[in-house]
Amino acid sequence: MTDNRAAGVSNLTVRYGDTLILDDISFSVDRHEIFVILGGSGSGKSTLLRQMIGLERPVSGEVFIDDINITRCPESQFSEALKKIGVLFQGSALISSMTVSQNIALPIIEFTDFSKKSIDRIVRVKLSLVGLEGYGHYLPSEISGGMKKRAGLARALALNPEILYLDEPSAGLDPVTAAEIDRLILDINRQLGTTIIIVTHELASIFAVAQRVIMLDKSTKKIIAEGTPEKLQTECDHPYVCKFFNRQT
């Protein structure tokens, strides 16, 4: 079972000061899977994602990227783990002093030996992948929120990571662009075999891409449901899950 694990957490507990955010959470994501983390606003999805990429340390529990336990491993192994992942932050987090192209090129320059010309070509491919042809020379402050999201996605994809972490990739996008992003996620998953972990609220996206979802609950701080979206919609045994999937109040 662990052989097939691309990422996961076990018995993870997270607090901010005295406030419990996540309580004893465990799950694992299979290789090549598209895995979706759901939950109401403020239920700790972004917090969970930040834990999963090692930006913050848990109170207790373990976090895995591939087979590396990033909660207790030497620095060098952690850097190894980081080389396998790409991350899109909720607020895009593009480096504001660099153009979109420079942002995408940043990890490529650092971690490969390609010439400047080849890197330019790769950047162009990544830009058109997310539909931002011609916007490479814009600064992050000069493009719209949805475009920043897509530029952030292109940067996360820069080194064709094994695992992609996306925090609300289609929030703030119009339905057509959002559907294009879903399509892109499916294509990446299919063509490169990338494991993709997504935090999202968008029902349409969930049904379009998710192979398995978990749902976090704000009051119990635990996972209240796990399974395929279709299963959660029809056989939900938790009232909040039913409401979520059937858009009730």
Partner 1 sequence: MMSIMAPDSPSPPFEITETDDGKLTIMLSGPLNIKTASPILNALTAALKNKSLTAVTINLKHVSRVDDYGALVLYQIKNDVLPPDTDFHLLNPPDVLQTMLDQMAAGHSDSPGQPDATLSSKFILQTGEATIDTLKSIKEFIDFIGAIVLSVMRFLKNPKSLRTNDIIGYMKTTGVDGLPVVAMISFLIGLIMAFMSSIQLKQFGANIYVASLVALSMVSELGPIMTAIIVSGRSGSAYAAEISTMKISEEIDALVTMGFDPVLFLAIPRMIAAIIVIPLLTMFANLFAIFGGLVIGITMLDLSASSYINQTFNSLKLFELCWGLSKSFVFAIIISGVGCLRGFQARGGASAVGQAATSAVVTSIFLIVLFDSIFAVIRSYWN
* Contacts with 91 (C-beta within 8 Å, 6 or more apart), sequence order: none
| Residues 159/86, Cβ–Cβ less than 8 Å | yes
Q: Where are the alpha helices (DSSP H) in 98-159?
A: 100-111, 116-129, 145-156
219 binds ligand ATP (CB under 6 A): no
16 binds ligand ATP (CB under 6 A): yes
In this structure, what are the phi and psi dihedrals at residue 193, rounded to the nearest 5 degrees? 65, 25
Q: In whole angstroms, how close is the CB of 117 to partner 1 at the nearest point?
A: 18
Give the one residue of 35, 64, 89, 244 binding partner 1; rule: CB under 8 A.
89
79 binds partner 1 (CB under 8 A): yes
DSSP class of 94: -
- The span of 24-32, 37-45, 67-75, 155-163 binding ligand ATP (CB under 6 A) equals 37-45
Give the one residue of 50, 126, 149, 221 binding partner 1; rule: CB under 8 A.
50
Selection from partner 1, ligand ATP, Mg ion, none that 95 binds (CB < 5 to 8 A by kind) is partner 1
Could you tell me the two tokens for 241?
């899950």
Residue 74: how many other CB atoms lie within 10 Å:
8
Give the one residue of 10, 28, 46, 233 binding Mg ion; rule: CB under 5 A.
46
Return the residues of window 126-145 that contact ligand ATP according to CB under 6 A: none
Report the b/e string of 30-43 with b at 16+ CB within 10 A: bebbbbbbbbeeeb
Nearest CA to 93 among 156, 51, 138, 30? Answer: 156
Q: In whole angstroms, how close is the CB of 53 to ligand ATP at the nearest point?
A: 13
Give the one residue of 34, 36, 38, 39 binding ligand ATP; rule: CB under 6 A.
39
How many chain residues interact with partner 1 (CB under 8 A)?
Answer: 22
Tallying the residues shown for the chain, one arrives at: 249
DSSP class of 40: -
Return the residues of window 104-143 that contact partner 1 according to CB under 8 A: 106-107, 110-111
| Residues 241/230, Cβ–Cβ less than 8 Å | no
Separation of CA 77 from chain center: 21
Closest-by-Cβ residue to Mg ion is 46
- The span of 36-44, 149-157, 221-229, 237-245 binding ligand ATP (CB under 6 A) equals 36-44
- The span of 89-97, 111-119, 135-143, 150-158 binding Mg ion (CB under 5 A) equals 89-97
The single residue listed with the structure tokens 């799950």 is 27
Return the residues of window 52-81 that contact ligand ATP according to CB under 6 A: none
Q: Which residues bind partner 1 (CB under 8 A)?
A: 50, 53-55, 79, 82-83, 85, 87, 89-91, 93-97, 106-107, 110-111, 155
